[in-house]
């Protein structure tokens, strides 16, 4: 029975100073790196996702034409090939086994909506490694972390969300997301990093 670590969207545009910067994003990147330094060997798969949007279109309505509603439409962010789409410099990517890009012309929140650099689905990668247990970290608790963890549960995995290795857009919606995840069967835990 394999084990995977998800690192969701720890990117420059989602950390302080980015187009959709989340307070505490840089600190989460550093804590994930500390956690990896101590625990990377415990995982068969360490997969990090990145929003990787097209520059020349609205990505299926994901980018707002005028004023974003911050529910379905957003300011331009994480355009593929730009500094904003790159990993936060505080995230040590040396132990990653898979890089996943999601979006690419359409709205995408869950890591499961992306593909690896060689075009495989996350589900395929997890199946190849017999992954049953998934630990989830990243940004933002109330959006892409939530969606990725719910999809992992829907795909039959046991999910643990490290509450000290996530950062959310807002306290109220992040607390609601964690409560929803717990209700769906996820374990909420501290990583100790």
Length of the chain: 193
Q: How far apart are CA 142 and CA 145, in angstroms?
A: 7
Residue 134 CA from chain centroid, whole number: 13
The catalytic residue among 9, 13, 88, 135 is 9
Q: Is 9 a catalytic residue?
A: yes
Q: Is 78 a catalytic residue?
A: no
Contact 168, 22 (CB under 8 A): yes
Burial letters 36-60, b for 16+ CB under 10 A, else e:
beebeeebbbbbbbbbbbbeeeebe
Please name every residue paired with 50 in a beta bridge, in sequence order, or none if there are none: 101
The catalytic residue among 102, 135, 142, 151 is 102
Q: Where are the beta strands (DSSP E) in the chain?
A: 2-8, 45-52, 98-103, 115-116, 131-139, 158-167, 187-189
The catalytic residue among 51, 78, 142, 144 is 144
Q: Is 102 a catalytic residue?
A: yes
Q: How far apart are CA 52 and CA 177, in angstroms?
A: 24
Give which of 122, 186, 135, 133 is closest to 165, Cα–Cα. 135
Task: Please give the positions annotated as active site.
Answer: 9, 102, 144
């Amino acid at each position: 029975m394999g084990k995977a670590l998800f690192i969701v969207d720890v990117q420059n545009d989602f950390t302080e100073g980015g187009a959709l910067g989340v307070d505490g994003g840089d600190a989460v990147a550093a804590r994930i790196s500390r956690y990896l330094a101590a625990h990377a060997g415990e995982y068969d798969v360490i997969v990090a996702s990145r929003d990787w949007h097209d520059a020349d279109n609205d990505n299926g309505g994901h980018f707002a034409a005028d004023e974003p509603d911050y529910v379905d439409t957003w300011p331009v962010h994480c355009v593929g090939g730009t500094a904003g789409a790159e990993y936060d410099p505080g995230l040590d990517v040396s132990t990653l086994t898979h890089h996943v890009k999601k979006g690419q012309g359409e709205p995408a929140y869950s890591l499961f909506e992306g593909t690896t650099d060689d075009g495989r689905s996350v589900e395929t990668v997890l199946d190849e490694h017999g992954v049953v247990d998934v630990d989830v970290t990243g940004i933002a608790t109330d959006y892409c972390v939530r969606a990725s963890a719910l999809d992992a549960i829907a795909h039959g995995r046991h999910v643990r969300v490290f509450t000290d290795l996530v950062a959310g857009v807002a306290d109220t919606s992040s607390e609601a997301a964690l409560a929803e995840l717990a209700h769906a069967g996820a374990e909420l835990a501290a990583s100790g990093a």
